[in-house]
Structure 1
Amino acid sequence: MKPVCVLGNGQLGRMLRQAGEPLGIAVYPVGLDAEPESLPQQQSVITAEIERWPETPLTRELARHPEFVNRDIFPRLADRLTQKQLLDSLGLATAPWQLLAGAEQWPQVFAALGELAIVKSRTGGYDGRGQWRLRATETGTLPTECYGNCIVEQGIAFSGEVSLVGARSRQGKTVFYPLTHNLHQDGILRTSVAFPQPNPAQQQQAERMLTAIMDELGYVGVMAMECFVVPEGLLINELAPRVHNSGHWTQNGASISQFELHLRAVLDLPLPQPVVSAPSVMVNLIGTAVNLAWLQEPLVHLHWYEKEVRAGRKVGHLNLNHPDPTALAAALQGLTPRLPPEYASGIAWAVGKLA
């Protein structure tokens, strides 16, 4: 099989490499500053763990590579303006929004979108960075460089957040995991819960929307779609053209992980529907040193990224799954004392979802 070069050498590239090993697929996560001649790129399929990148000798060379899968899709989805325009062109439900070009727009923005405005950087910005929640009296706090470089959305009163992770083959076949319920705190995903049998109406709506997006783009590989749950159904929040944090539970909770599924898709290998037979929970480890006492809980699978621990930085995650939701909830509660206090609310939320 062809090797796979992954543009970006963070935890997603690392987990793609790990997923390739049992299949005999050589996966090379590469930093943006790598020397092009150091890689077996001419024989490789190229993918990416990031949506946008600076121009370097490597990225200039890869931009011409005939096997760079989704190369022209990444910049379209990395810019929230063109991403929103795509969703609108497909008639898919999303929060009302507009480009924020200048401060003189604010009266019209609040008249059109309501009392809470969510400002988002067009590019970059993730895990709560590059976003501002503003009311009419707070617009003076927005940095001036945001104007022309941000969109503004209506603040949505949602009852929950879910994501759909799916994959599309080169022939247009699509497969999906069950919807994942997500809890964000300070803009960072803290905890995810997935069930083998999701809400049928929500699952069907989400699959229709993500299929339409991937088909329109001719996308190949794994894509994630984050949504708000509102009384009318689902509103698309954002798209990620790659493997996604909210799909990490699939490493231990599905017959095929999202990482293996992505490799299968880009290499044109069989793409069966992954089997999910038990509830799963993923707990993000954020700015927390490793604690081997977590392993005393027999349901815990530790995935440690070997990164320097810094405040607000994702350094690993814990996966737990069990056919009995009660046993899974008990394992989470047993884990709570072994984690810093700030994890308690996220675990309590997951236990509530399992009840």
Structure 2
Amino acid sequence: MSNKVWVLGNGQLGAMLAHAGQPLALDVRPIDIMVPTAEQLAMQSNDIVTAEREQWPESALSLQLSEHPKFINGPVFGRLADRFTQKSLLDELNVATAPWELVDDNSDAAELYRKYGERVLLKRRTGGYDGRGQFWLKQAEQTQLPDDWRNEAIAEQAINFDEEVSLVGARTHDGRCVFYPLTLNLHQDGILMASISPLPRLQALQAEAEAMLTTIMDGLDYVGVMAMECFRVGEHLLVNELAPRVHNSGHWTQAGCHIDQFQLHLRALCDLAVMTPQVNFQCVMVNLIGIDKDDRWLSLPNAELYWYNKEVRPGRKVGHLNLSVKDNETLASSIAQLQQWMPAQYQAPLAWILLHYQA
């Protein structure tokens, strides 16, 4: 077994993977692949390669990493990075997802409205996470497809969902799958703002979610952690997006579980023992988006701060707070403090947490 793991990308996910590798005696090396360079890495044949993102620019360095014989899940990243091939996979595997089609030269707005209703969501085939790369076609306002979306997007039926949930699971080299509990998520302007897990009322959906993600991971012969974002529609789930990596909605596991998603991913990749994660207590995750670091957060008795040390810009993920829920009073007190300390865009997510964490 190799003790060195190379990560395509050195953002916050790569940094947290490196941190998780330390207690396992794994040398995890996140690599900046956004800067083209001719630098060659001193890689060994038994090193492991993974990625913290689905897409990366082509350079001598990224090619060296992605062409390594132990680049685990290599073919999967491109397949899931393109929404056309991702949705096609879900259809091939008979995993429920929103009705959709490719937008091409023959696509017609009137026909899309006829098939999918008066609101149709266009999504760029690649990129466009956190609410970007999307365009709403509305029958009352738009009679023509914008030309620059043809052959670059899929069209998807608008789903009147009850709420958004996600499942983070992992698959081992020998095909065994383990899962965390379903997580309830709140998005604002397409960006994840808060997550809560576990919730007793979501337990009824756990088996269906696990069966869906097992089918997907088995179908891809996937190894490691994968996240599946879903819409809950009544008593069933529809898959919205897949992420072949550790995921924002799994950050709560850093505080709430005996094995967090980052260590679980490394264990699976490196063929170390993978156990079903033990949940120690409910946890609430608050994403820190375009907000300056406030040391008062550290005074909350149940808070763990993860600050990414990135330049603060509007809409940019710069950190997250994990709040353990060992008793209702402590959580309510911490949320009340955050409501005083955090700006206006956080008032609705904080109120949402208070409304849902006991449900």
Task: Spell out, residue by residue over 1:230-271, the C-alpha distance to the aligned partner (whole angstroms, 9 max, x if none).
Answer: 024101001000000000011111110100000000000000
- Superposed structure 1 runs of 4+ greater than 4 Å apart: 140-143
Residue matched to 2:6: 5
Q: Partner of 2:166: helix, strand, or coil?
A: strand
CA distance in 2: counterparts of 1:43 and 1:222, whole angstroms: 20
Aligned 1:298-317 pairs, distance under 5 A: 298-317=301-320
Structure 2 CA distance, aligned partners of 1:92 and 1:104?
25
Whether the 8 Å CA contact 2:9–2:53 is kept in 1: the answer is: yes
Q: Is the 8 A contact 1:98 1:151 kept in 2?
A: yes
Q: 2-side partners of 1:323 and 1:104: how far apart? A: 53
Distance 1:10 1:80 in 2: 23
In structure 2, the CA distance between the partners of 1:89 and 1:305, relative to structure 1 (3 Å rule), is same
Does residue 154 in structure 1 map to residue 174 in structure 2?
A: no
**Aligned twin of 1:184:** 187
Q: Of 109, 114, 119, which residue of structure 2 is paired with 1:116?
A: 119
Question: How far apart are the structure 2 equivalents of 1:174 and 1:117?
Answer: 35
1:226 equivalenced with 2:211 (yes/no): no
Could you tell me the TM-score, scaled by structure 2's length? 0.95
User: Which one-letter code corresponds to 1:9 in the other structure?
Assistant: N
- Code of the aligned partner of 1:269: L
Write the deviation string for residues 189-208 of structure 1: whole angstroms up to 9, x where unpaired. Answer: 00101126452331111000
CA contact (8 A) 2:8 2:65 kept: no
Partner letter of residue 250 of structure 2? G
State the secondary structure of the residue aligned to 1:46: strand
RMSD of equivalent CA atoms: 1.6
Supply the distance in 2 between the matched residues of 1:229 and 1:57 (Cα, whole angstroms). Answer: 43
Whether the 8 Å CA contact 1:297–1:335 is kept in 2: the answer is no
Q: Which of 323, 327, 334 pairs up with 1:324?
A: 327
Name 2:30's counterpart in structure 1.
Answer: 29
**1:62 is matched with which residue?**
65
Q: Does 1:204 align with 2:204?
A: no
- Partners of 1:212 and 1:249 in 2: CA distance: 25
Q: Given the superposition, is the C-alpha separation of residues 327 and 80 from structure 1 closer, same or farther in structure 2, using an over 3 Å criterion?
A: same
Give the 3 Å change call, closer, same or farther, for CA 41–109 of structure 1 in structure 2: farther
Q: 1:325 touches 1:354 (CA, 8 Å); kept in 2?
A: no
- 1:290-301 to 2 correspondences below 5 Å: 290-301=293-304
**Counterpart AA for 1:184:** H
Offset, 1:335? 2.0
* Distance across 2 between alignment mates of 1:196 and 1:278: 11
1:285 aligns with 2:291: no
Deviations 1:62-101 (A, max 9, x none): 3321100000111111110011011011111111111111
Cα separation, 2, equivalents of 1:225 and 1:262: 15
Compared with structure 1, are the counterparts of its residues 41 and 126 closer, same or farther at alpha carbon in structure 2 (3 Å cutoff)? farther
Deviates more, 1:221-230 or 1:35-44: 35-44
Contact 2:264-2:274 at 8 Å conserved across structures: yes
Identity of aligned residues (%): 52
Task: For residue 296 of structure 1, report the CA deviation from its aligned partner.
Answer: 1.2
Distance 1:65 1:156, change over 3 A: same
CA distance in 2, matches of 1:36, 1:142: 44
User: How far, CA to CA, are the matches of 2:179 and 2:201 in structure 1?
Assistant: 12
> Any idea what the Cα deviations from partners look like across 1:28-83, whole Å, max 9, x if unmatched?
00011354424435442000001012211112223321100000111111110011
- The structural deviation recorded for 1:338 is 1.4
Structure 1: which 5+ runs fail to align? none
SS at match of 2:71: coil
Map of 1:242 onto structure 2: 245
Residues 38 and 59, structure 2, Cα contact 8 Å, conserved in 1: no
Alpha-carbon shift at residue 115 of structure 1 (Å): 1.0
The question of whether the paired residues in 2 share the 8 Å contact of 1:196 and 1:277 is answered with no
| Alignment-derived partner of residue 16 in structure 2 | 15
1:196–1:269 Cα change, 3 Å: farther
Q: Point out the more displaced range, 30-39 or 13-22.
A: 30-39
* Matching residue of 1:76: 79
Q: Is the 8 A contact 1:250 1:256 kept in 2?
A: yes
- The CA distance in 2 between the partners of 1:307 and 1:145, in whole Å, is 33
Once the two structures are overlaid, the 10-residue window that deviates more, 238-247 or 18-27, is: 18-27
CA distance in 2, matches of 1:334, 1:327: 11
Please give the per-residue CA displacement for 1:269-323, whole angstroms capped at 9, x wherever unaligned: 0000001131110000000010101111111111000000001100000001122
After superposition, the Cα gap between the structure-2 partners of 1:233 and 1:27, relative to the gap in structure 1 and judged at 3 Å, is same
* Structure 2 residues without counterparts, runs of 5 or longer: none
Deviation at residue 353 of structure 1 after TM alignment: 0.6
Shift of 1:141: 8.4
Q: TM-score, normalised by structure 1?
A: 0.96
1:252/1:142 CA distance change after superposition, 3 Å: farther
Letter in 2 for 1:304: W
